[in-house]
């Protein structure tokens, strides 16, 4: 990846015009899932790579029309060409995963092949009795979830918060992203890493994933807490905000149910669409239920107030962010809403204010967007040159019959690193 101009990380909203995004095109690691290990890999089903790849290609081609994209594998290959980075990263991964026996072999690999193996897995060499009889297929398991680049790192302002993954099967994703942001010559940022022994000791039970982390405004974070991001993870974020000792900051927290699995992250029930619109799964976000919405105010390094709010849109409105809630699944009935939420119907990526990308399969959600003045643009028409991205609000619909079965949508599959500022 050749460039004389560094990219300064800068993300102060969820919908400012995208100027750079990190993605990972799914590869052989997806095919290494079996019905037996799918649950361990955090999937409820196994995916067909050829179909998923075809759908992902459309998604990436749409992204390439609106922003520069950067592949994880390319960025990783670049930093593995730096000898000291290669040695340090491999040692960290092998120690973490109990695989120091393969460290010398990995060090002999060239950067391209090593990048592939760190993502797609390193097969177990059956060169002694223990390994011969082992039921394990890999010395380093494949990163089945890496197509969801949103989770392992989060840009906020000029910094990148590294994920503390809720499941050990995803730890290597965060290790790789931390290495990329700290060492790639193209990227200019400072990382905040919760994965240090000190942070794990000070915040027992800490977990933070990017699907729960949204930047509402430069002074407003919206964070979900549930099975993937713990309250201790939010306390870690809170302590880092307090350390800045400057200005007024707001954290809005939404509790999430443990079940069903489609509620794993906040962005499965709530995403920003524009300066005045958000997508909501109405029964959880707007309905009466036992899941709290909390507002924490931090001023000049101190928590000055913690209170409960009725719901996220009302909490945002109190901060001058007045959002019209667009209903996932439309307003037809609870059954339709549940069906479309299950297939990432609330999960949209905004690439500019009022311009979003989401799955075409969620027809009632797309129709609801149309009723809220979003022009529907089919990705095929856009890519075939039959239409252009309009000036006003729009939703670009992408195929997702297979990708949605992986448990994530357009927001999950993208990690923005730079957005233009929003004119509030």
List the CATH number of the domain containing 152: 3.75.10.10
- Tell me how far the alpha carbon of residue 408 is from its chain's centroid: 9
Does 205 map to a domain? yes
> 41 near 169, Cβ under 8 Å?
yes
Does 285 map to a domain? yes
Q: Which residue has the higher pLDDT, 108 or 131?
A: 108
Does 65 map to a domain? yes
Count structural domains, the chain: 1
Does 267 map to a domain? yes
> 336 near 348, Cβ under 8 Å?
no
Confidence (pLDDT) at 1: 42
Residue 273 has pLDDT above 70, yes or no: yes
Residue 32 has pLDDT above 90, yes or no: no
Does 367 map to a domain? yes
Q: Mean of the per-residue pLDDT values for the chain?
A: 94
The model's pTM is: 0.95
Residue 129's pLDDT band (cuts 50, 70, 90) = confident
Confidence (pLDDT) at 42: 47
Residue 40 has pLDDT above 60, yes or no: no
The SS3 of residue 396 is: strand
E strands, 152-309, are 153-156, 159-162, 187-188, 190-192, 213-217, 220-225, 248-255, 270-274, 277-280, 293-299, 302-309
For 38, the domain range is: 7-419
Structure tokens at 407: 């448990």
* Highest mean pLDDT (candidates 33-37, 206-210, 289-293): 206-210
Does 389 map to a domain? yes
Q: Mean of the pLDDT values across residues 223-251?
A: 96
Radius of gyration for the chain, computed over Cα atoms and rounded to the nearest angstrom: 21
Percent of the chain with pLDDT over 90: 85
From the number of C-beta atoms within 10 Å of its C-beta (0-12, 13-18, 19+), residue 283 rates as middle
Reference 185, options 85, 106, 109; nearest CA is 85
Confidence (pLDDT) at 138: 92
Does 353 map to a domain? yes
When mean pLDDT is compared across 38-52, 112-126, 213-227, the lowest value belongs to 38-52
Which residue matches tokens 């980075």? 85
Confidence (pLDDT) at 114: 98
Does 206 map to a domain? yes
Residue 4's pLDDT band (cuts 50, 70, 90) = low
Question: What are 187's strand-pairing partners?
Answer: 7
């Amino acid at each position: 990846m050749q460039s004389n101009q560094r990219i300064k990380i800068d993300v102060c909203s969820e919908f400012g015009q995208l100027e750079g995004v990190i993605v990972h095109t799914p590869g052989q690691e997806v095919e290494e899932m079996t019905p037996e290990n799918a649950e361990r890999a955090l999937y409820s089903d196994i995916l067909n790579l050829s179909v998923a790849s075809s759908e992902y290609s459309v998604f990436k081609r749409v992204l390439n029309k609106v922003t520069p994209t950067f592949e994880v594998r390319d960025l990783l290959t670049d930093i593995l060409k730096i000898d000291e980075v290669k040695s340090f990263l491999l040692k960290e991964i092998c120690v973490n995963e109990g695989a120091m026996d393969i460290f010398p072999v990995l060090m002999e690999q060239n950067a391209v092949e090593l990048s592939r193996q760190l993502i797609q897995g390193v097969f177990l060499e059956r060169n002694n009795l223990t390994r011969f009889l082992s039921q394990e297929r890999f010395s380093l398991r494949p990163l089945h979830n890496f197509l969801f680049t949103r989770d392992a790192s989060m840009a906020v302002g000029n910094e990148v918060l590294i994920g503390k993954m809720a499941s050990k099967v995803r730890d290597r994703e965060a290790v790789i992203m931390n290495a990329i942001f700290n060492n790639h010559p193209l990227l200019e940022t400072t990382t905040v890493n919760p994965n240090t022994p000190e942070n794990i000791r000070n915040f027992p039970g800490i977990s933070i994933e990017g699907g729960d982390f949204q930047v509402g405004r430069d002074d407003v974070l919206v964070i979900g807490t549930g099975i993937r991001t713990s309250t201790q993870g939010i306390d870690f974020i809170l302590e880092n905000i307090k350390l800045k000792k400057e200005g007024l900051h707001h954290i809005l927290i939404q509790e999430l149910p443990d079940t069903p699995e489609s509620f794993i992250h906040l962005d499965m029930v709530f995403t920003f669409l524009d300066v005045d619109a958000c997508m909501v799964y109405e029964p959880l976000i707007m309905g009466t239920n036992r899941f709290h919405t909390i507002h924490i105010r931090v001023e000049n390094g101190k928590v000055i107030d913690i209170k409960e709010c009725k719901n996220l849109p009302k909490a945002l409105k109190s901060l001058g962010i007045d959002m019209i809630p667009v209903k996932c699944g439309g307003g037809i009935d609870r059954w339709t809403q549940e069906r479309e939420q299950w297939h990432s119907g609330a999960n949209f990526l905004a690439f500019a204010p009022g311009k979003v990308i989401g799955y075409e399969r969620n027809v009632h959600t797309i129709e609801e967007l149309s009723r809220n003045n979003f022009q529907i643009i089919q990705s095929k028409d856009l890519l075939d040159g039959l239409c252009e991205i309009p000036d006003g609000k729009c939703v670009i619909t992408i195929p997702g019959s297979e990708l949605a079965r992986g448990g994530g949508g357009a927001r999950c599959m993208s990690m923005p690193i730079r957005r233009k500022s929003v004119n509030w």
